[in-house]
Structure 1
Amino acid sequence: MSLLASLLRMRAAATGNAVVTSQLRHLHLSDRPLMMLPLEQTGPAARPLAVMLGTDPRHPQLLVAPPSGSTAPMLGALAATVTGYIDEHQQRSEQIPAGTNRPARRCYTDAPQILVPNPKTVAYLDRLGRDLRFRPADTDIPAQHGVPCLGQWLTHFADRAEIPGSCALVPLTGLLAMHWITGQSPVEDEDLALLLAWIDPPRDAASGRDAALAAEHPDTHRPAGPATDARFDTEQLAPLFEQYARTTAQPRALQDLERLLAHYLQPTWDLMWQAYTLLHALPEADGTARRWNKERSVFTDFSTYLIQDGRPQAARDQAVSAAVGLARREEATAAFDAERAMDDPFARAELRTAGRAFAGTVTTVDADRFVRPKTRRQWRPMLTVSTADPVSMEPGQLLACHAYRNARYKICDIAPGSDTTQVQLEITAGMGPESRPNYNVLPDPGDLLTFTAAPDHYRLPEFPPRNQTPWTHGGPPPEHPDHEGAER
């Protein structure tokens, strides 16, 4: 947690109301998302108890697994609903023209989006997907054909949830906490009911704190899944499980279980749509559209993979694939932080308190500076910025400024002083050619600017091909020479 976030959390605790941090939404929200609210049954790993899901807030679909026996019918119905929702987004595509380093290709015009209440639900869907994608499909039951495919899609969505800026599978508590800060702990912010009580309290509540205290009352509080409340398990769920086990009228017991779980899940279902309404009302940041286009591209690529290959994802990552995945997450984190800083004043202020951005006054501008790195001279203006912020960056780092979005600045020198630090910056991009210079990227002396890391400053490291990777790290198997001297 940054210094600024800690200060605002203390302010929220003192006033009793949540503090708005960002008035721009940095993740795309679909007009028709698939809400998913699963419950996990205690006992076997990833065994579902119930799932409430749908795209209509007034008509959710409830799927309930029997307390014992096969969960195949319930999983078949879940697979049909989820894959049906995905299929709807595979009906229309568009031609993407060729780019500098990429040929022309087709891409779906939209992509599916699943919204869940909290990060624990993301982890549960990951476990469920890993379990289902390796299950052999029962060829005698047509409804079971989609269960392994459901596992592959759930694994894909869970993997995308680990990428900052991705919006394929979004926990609502995390997205709400990106825009509001409450007076409770970050752990309590993962409870959707408490978090919404702080952010959007009922009209009769004196404050968000009072609404949160009322929301956590044991008689009315509903955990948002995937685990159920221990009191609910003991007092209501366990008797129905026993009734189902000892009665011959199991369909009647299952109907009673469905009514109980529908009553149990409905309040959280309503809270999820309340959170969606609040977030959807926020205007999108400029970088949101670019990230959604990336999500559409990833969805298209994975759909193509399932059609052309179809093998489930590996049970475990090899060393190189794990390193590549980690590098991609680091790249996505750096890019998302930088893009948020370009769009959002709060993100810039938060980075300044951590030394990852600085604001200062332009003192000098050398607009007539040219360099000749090879054969043709290039226009490279230089400016000096005086800042009182801590600067923990290094010379050579590429920076961006929200006031000149297309320009890039390279740190040439950092000269700390007693009160201020002088930072020399060279403009390296956005000036146009020498014949048609773009003077709009030149600030005037006295301008107050904020500089952050450029969204494109991070580069993926180069990884060796498989045939040059040691077998201990997933490369080709080692050669086994004949031990001719073993018999001697």
Structure 2
Amino acid sequence: MSLLTSLLRMRAASTGKVQPASQLRHLHLSDQPLMLMALKRTGPPARPLAVMLGTDPYRPQLLVAPPSGSIAPMLVALADTAIAYIEACRQRSEHLPATSSKPARQRYTDAPQILVPNPQTVKYLQLLGDDLRFRRVDDRTPGSRSTQRLGHWLTYLTDRSDIPGSAALIPMPGLLGMHWITGQSPLEDEDLATLLAWIDPPRHAASGRDAADRAAATAAHRPAGPATDAAFDTDQLAPLFHTYARTRGQEQTATLQELNSLLATRMQPTWNLMWHAYTLLQALPEAKGTARRWDHERTAFTDECTYLAQDGRPRPAREQAVATAVRLARMEHAATAFAAERAADDTFVRAELRTTGEAFGGPVTTIEPQCTRSGPTGRTQWRPRFTVSTTDPVLMEPGQLLACHTHRNARYKICGITPADCDTLVELEITAGMGTVARPNHAVLPEPGAFLVFTPAPDHYRMPEFPARDQTPWTHGGPPPDHLDHSDEQSEEEQ
């Protein structure tokens, strides 16, 4: 937690009012996302109790698993709804022309987006995906193929949720917390009811803190799942389960209807809160970098559909070492790029980075627009320089590349850092975006006295070269060792 975040959290706690942490929304929100919340039973980790989902806030679909017996019909209904939503994103595509690194290809114009009420639901969907995608497909069993396909898509979506900046599967508290800071702890912020009470309290509430206290009251609070509280299990679920087990026929059907009504009443408040949160976030202006990240999301979705059409095998339960290294490399790059783009788009993010020494800002004091130097081939290159005076802590080293919010395509290199009495002088050289000596781009030159903020520039990403499977040691998923194990023969000789 940075110094600025701590200050805003203390201010919210003292005033009882939420503090803004961002002016822009940094994740794309679909016009028609799929809202999904789930409740699970005690016992097997992936056994569902109920799922409420849909794209219409006024017409949620409730799927309830029977207290005993097969849950296959419920899973088939869940698969049909979820896959129908995913298939709707494949109705239209666009043509992407060939580039120097990629051939011409098609890409879908949309991608699925699922919004869930908390991070625990993401973990539950991951467990459910692991359970479903390895199930056998039997053409004589209706729905077995769609159930396995649901497991595949749940695994894909939960994998995408680990990538910073991805908008495929979003826990609502995390997205809300990116834009508002409350006076409660980060753990308490994971509760959607209290978090929304801070952000948008009712009119009769004295403050966001008072509204959150009421929302957290035992009588009114409804956990967002997937786990249910013990009192609800003991007092309401258990009697219905026992009645269902003792009865048959119409009495059992009536008990199941009563269970459906109970769970609908239990889940409806959280369903309304999720759409309320969506409305608040949809009202925020979208950051510039959001469109580019959503393009990557659509590309990943298109590639996954291609994989299903050409191969379709379920992903392994445990990744090989090389696959894990590739995934971690992509996650690290996505985190760096997401942080850099947020800083370039949002003044609030830049202010927070300035408190940690990861960025600095100040007025331009001197400019040397005619500076040139000889390049590697001996060609003269235009490299204008200027100096910035800052009172911020500068925890950077000469040679580091920086970006500035005024010219997103330009790059600046630190040439020198000179501490002074009350400030620090940072000499910068423009290394990209300024054109050439013959055709200079003078627009990138700052005016004397202009206040600029510089943040770390995202490095040019190139996927590291990883070894093929046949070149990987057998201890890390490669082929088995060539030599035979003679340990038994050696032990007999020793005896």
TM over 0.5: yes
Q: Distance in 2 between matches of 1:180 and 1:304?
A: 39
- Which deviates further from its counterpart, 258-267 or 201-210? 201-210
User: Which of 258, 273, 294 does residue 271 from structure 1 map onto?
Assistant: 273
Q: Which residue of 2 aligns with 1:123?
A: 123
Q: Deviations over 1:25-52 (max 9, x none)?
A: 1000000000001111111111100000
Report deviation, 1:482: 9.2
Identify if the C-alpha distance between structure 1 residues 244 and 482 changes in structure 2 by more than 3 Å, giving closer, same or farther. closer
Does the aligned pair in 1 maintain the 2:434–2:442 contact within 8 Å? yes
Q: Distance in 1 between matches of 2:421 and 2:123?
A: 49
Any idea what SS the aligned residue of 2:143 has?
helix
What RMSD, in angstroms, separates the aligned Cα atoms of the two structures?
1.8
TM-score when normalising by structure 1: 0.96
Q: Which residue of 2 aligns with 1:75?
A: 75
> 1:251 corresponds to which letter in structure 2?
T
Identify if the C-alpha distance between structure 1 residues 385 and 457 changes in structure 2 by more than 3 Å, giving closer, same or farther. farther
Q: Distance in 1 between matches of 2:209 and 2:392?
A: 35
Q: Distance in 1 between matches of 2:191 and 2:307?
A: 36
User: Which of 427, 436, 441 does residue 439 from structure 2 map onto?
Assistant: 436
Any idea what SS the aligned residue of 1:146 has?
helix
Q: Which residue of 2 aligns with 1:448?
A: 451
Report deviation, 1:77: 0.5
Report deviation, 1:221: 0.7
Any idea what SS the aligned residue of 2:323 has?
helix
User: Which of 336, 347, 350 does residue 348 from structure 1 map onto?
Assistant: 350
Q: Verify: 1:425 aligned to 2:428, yes or no.
A: yes
Alignment of 1:304-383 (within 5 A): 304-375=306-377, 376-383=379-386
Taking only the aligned residue pairs, the percentage that are identical comes to 67
> 1:310 corresponds to which letter in structure 2?
G
Any idea what SS the aligned residue of 1:390 has?
coil
Q: Distance in 2 between matches of 1:482 and 1:295?
A: 48
Q: Distance in 1 between matches of 2:442 and 2:458?
A: 23
Any idea what SS the aligned residue of 1:363 has?
strand
Q: Which residue of 1 aligns with 2:58?
A: 58
Any idea what SS the aligned residue of 1:409 has?
strand
TM-score when normalising by structure 2: 0.95
Any idea what SS the aligned residue of 1:254 has?
helix
Q: Distance in 2 between matches of 1:475 and 1:437?
A: 53
Identify if the C-alpha distance between structure 1 residues 131 and 329 changes in structure 2 by more than 3 Å, giving closer, same or farther. same
Q: Distance in 2 between matches of 1:433 and 1:112?
A: 44
Identify if the C-alpha distance between structure 1 residues 293 and 383 changes in structure 2 by more than 3 Å, giving closer, same or farther. same
Any idea what SS the aligned residue of 1:142 has?
coil
Identify if the C-alpha distance between structure 1 residues 473 and 397 changes in structure 2 by more than 3 Å, giving closer, same or farther. farther
Alignment of 1:171-210 (within 5 A): 171-210=171-210
- Which deviates further from its counterpart, 432-441 or 195-204? 432-441
> 1:11 corresponds to which letter in structure 2?
R
Q: Distance in 2 between matches of 1:464 and 1:440?
A: 45
Any idea what SS the aligned residue of 1:287 has?
helix
Any idea what SS the aligned residue of 2:222 has?
coil
Alignment of 1:88-487 (within 5 A): 88-248=88-248, 249-375=251-377, 376-456=379-459, 460-480=463-483
Q: Deviations over 1:291-327 (max 9, x none)?
A: 1111000000001101110011111122222222112
> 1:250 corresponds to which letter in structure 2?
Q
Does the aligned pair in 2 maintain the 1:371–1:378 contact within 8 Å? yes
Does the aligned pair in 1 maintain the 2:46–2:128 contact within 8 Å? yes
Report deviation, 1:459: 5.2
> 2:252 corresponds to which letter in structure 1?
Q
